[in-house]
Amino acid sequence: MDVKFITVHCSATKADVDVDAKMIDQWHRQKGWLKIGYHFVIKRDGTIEPGRKLDEVGAHVAGFNKGNIGICMAGGLDANGKPQDNFTEAQYTSLDSLLTLLEEDFPKAELRGHRDFPGVNKACPCFDVRAWRETTR
């Protein structure tokens, strides 16, 4: 499998909303999608839930889904609905562990946040993924 990107997203929900893969799957099906667009969801407590199978093309970055593994972190909005890096320590620990595994399996894949793709006009995932990753290595 040729993986070019590993992309981190946020669910664009407030910190007090307990988002999981099942909920996101329902949202994406309501949009008319086949199923959840992400390959992984990291809940507020750090639990990593599976979404699409790794060998399935995701649906999470328009025009860049082929060869792109999508990870969604629950949260990303403050109490007023504005973008905010409000992820828990447990989420960051899980993201670090998941990225370590994925980078071992797909060493040529480029790590990006959703906002790092051309034409994306969103703050998602509300932090600089590459800068954060440099601090974990």
For 37-75, the pLDDT digits (tens) are 999 999 999 999 999 999 999 999 999 999 999 999 999
The answer to whether 39 is a known catalytic residue is no
* Token pair recorded at residue 101: 């595994």
Question: Which residue in 4, 14, 35, 122 is the catalytic one?
Answer: 122
20: how many CB neighbours lie within 10 A of its CB?
16
CB 3 within 8 A of CB 68: yes
User: By C-alpha distance, which of 66, 50, 49, 55 is closest to 7?
Assistant: 66
Residue 10's pLDDT is what?
98
Structural domain boundaries enclosing 90: 5-136
Annotation says 38 is catalytic: yes
Its pTM surpasses 0.85: yes
- Who contacts 38 (Cβ-Cβ below 8 Å, separation ≥6)? 9, 21, 24, 51, 52, 58, 60, 70, 71, 72
Q: Is 82 a catalytic residue?
A: no
As for how many domains the chain has, the answer is 1
The model's pLDDT over 94-122, given as tens digits with 9 standing for 90+, comes to: 999 999 999 999 999 999 999 999 989 99
The CATH number covering residue 71 comes to 3.40.80.10
What is the reported pLDDT for 137?
77
Is there a catalytic annotation at residue 60?
Answer: no
Q: Which pLDDT belongs to residue 84?
A: 96
Q: Is the pLDDT of residue 1 over 80?
A: no
List the structure tokens of 109: 């894949």
Distance of CA 55 to the CA centre of its chain: 17
Of these residues, 28, 38, 43, 72, which one is catalytic?
Answer: 38
Identify whether 72 is a catalytic site residue. no
